[in-house]
Structure 1
């Protein structure tokens, strides 16, 4: 990926990542199947993390190889999904997966895509694809406005987050993704998604983020105090709605 720091920055957040990160809607797979993807297509899930995106495709009947450079996250994925015969995990990066050329029908990249070196990744994904293959890039985009909770949460991240703005700005917009695919771009889709979180789950979700200051940092305790106040002011029946839009882009990157 782009640098060593990006491959290791979640190592001490794996437990929170496993417990509190959102999954992806099954509608993503349905949309890809509408583009001609078939359940017998072999999937390489790049930057697979703890296996959340891999499970989406396993549940749809695909064989999945999860490629992940972070050893702690790769171990968590194997512990969770290793009993499924169609799942394997491999050490590698988006720019150098270590997989054979032409061996993958569907290359997927989910929430980690914004950490990749885009040009080198495009070359590697093209190398991996079989003649019929496609690439699908997806991520959950947290809604920033629309409810007092969402808007208050965004203020907390700006006030207390460590490098939050620089991380948030790494996500590509629609035009940038179309340019990344080039003439082989097949389109995009967006699906509403979300989590209902009690306070402990909300705190865990926040602490799974790489920009959340950890215990011992001067922003940590003030951030949690602000989070508690926001939760108490906006909760309904003990939960808040943490809303996303799941965005997926597909195509076959050209040269």
Structure 2
């Protein structure tokens, strides 16, 4: 990952922990049933951030090494998950994890793969995975089906600094199939959502690296537009954001 990408969340750790969506628990059972994953396996969570995706597997008895280059996010994951003896956080990138060759049974990446250098990452995954190891790339993809969701997306485009350039939806199925090739990859989708009051909705927006933070130019205009949008669509003081949680998974060759 480029240096800018490894530091861009440093001032958003608290919002990230509080307001980012988790992942449906059904993902673990799916990977166990379809790919034979078991709690005896050692997982590496690459780009583990504050530990959202690591926690999903820790809850199900897995040992997880969180690989995260951002100091602030890595330290937050240690604060949140450090009492769990099956969790270890290490300083590393997708391209240079620092993990031992052939040591990992499965690799996961939650909301992170779009930051990776795909060619270098493929070489590193091949090095650290055991033969036939599992790779699962996971994203919460925000939907734009309701009128609120469509206007919210336009607000992000209008106020975001580089949203269009860094949006994970720029990584399409063709790119992911090329990354897994010659192995096969499957896409499975799980429903997910978050319900927010206005403060929660603003916190969710501020957790994104491409939006102006509270101490940055553009924040006041963004917040005012968000409040007007919330007031227009809220019901009983709440608003819902819907997601498709996409899981691209396959055995590595």
Tell me the TM-score normalised to structure 2 length: 0.96
| Shift of residue 169, structure 1, vs aligned partner | 5.8
Q: Take 1:139 and 1:221, find their aligned partners in 2: how far apart are those partners?
A: 29
The CA RMSD measured in Å over matched residues stands at 1.2
Partner of residue 208, structure 1: 207
- Give the SS at the match of 2:182: helix
Residues matched between the structures, number: 252
Superposed CA offset, 1:101-155 (max 9, x none): 1100011111111000001101111111112411111111111x22121011011
Match of 1:153 in 2: 152
Cα contact 2:132–2:251 (8 A) shared by 1: no
Q: How does 1:1-255 map to 2 (within 5 A)?
A: 1=1, 3-34=2-33, 35-143=35-143, 145-168=144-167, 171-254=170-253
Q: Is the 8 A contact 1:122 1:253 kept in 2?
A: no
Q: Which runs of 5+ in 2 are unaligned?
A: none
Gaps spanning 5+ residues in structure 1: where? none
- Pairwise CA distance, 1:54: 0.2
CA drift of 1:185 comes to 1.9
Distance in 1 (alpha carbons) for counterparts of 2:168 and 2:5 = 15
Deviation string, structure 1 residues 37-60 (Cα, Å, up to 9, x no partner): 112111000000000000011011
TM-score by length of 1: 0.95
